[in-house]
Structure 1
């Protein structure tokens, strides 16, 4: 049950949710032969979002290091705290 039409999924929603939840594998929903959505386990989605956020943080840190290596001055910590309202 890794792919099914939206119409079939509507008729078998409980089965689709159970398949995604128990199998920890997405169920792709199609319309006119094209994937339009996916049903996945909520905990799996939370892990994917956390991993994407971690990756974005790592990429941003690498970009900041590259800017500093190219001579751009670092922003003083006191200014960062003030901008964030932490002082």
Structure 2
């Protein structure tokens, strides 16, 4: 299981839009999503991929990290494995 942090997401972006965006760049569908609103200026999402290891996500992460999407430059990071 691996988690992916996607920060600076355009407010109002739907789960389906996020899924379609990531699949377009080769990511598998995520299994869970948690919205992190913060102060509202730079919302983020934490995505969980149940059948995917962190190394697989690290391989895909450069495809979308620092990409300009929906009027925002998104920040995408693979989170440290919870079992480490």
Same fold (TM over 0.5): no
Q: Which of structures 1 and 2 has the bigger CA Rg? A: 1
Q: TM-score, normalised by structure 1?
A: 0.28
Name the one with the larger strand percent.
2
Higher relative contact order (CA 8 A, sep 6+): 2
Name whichever structure is richer in helix by fraction.
1
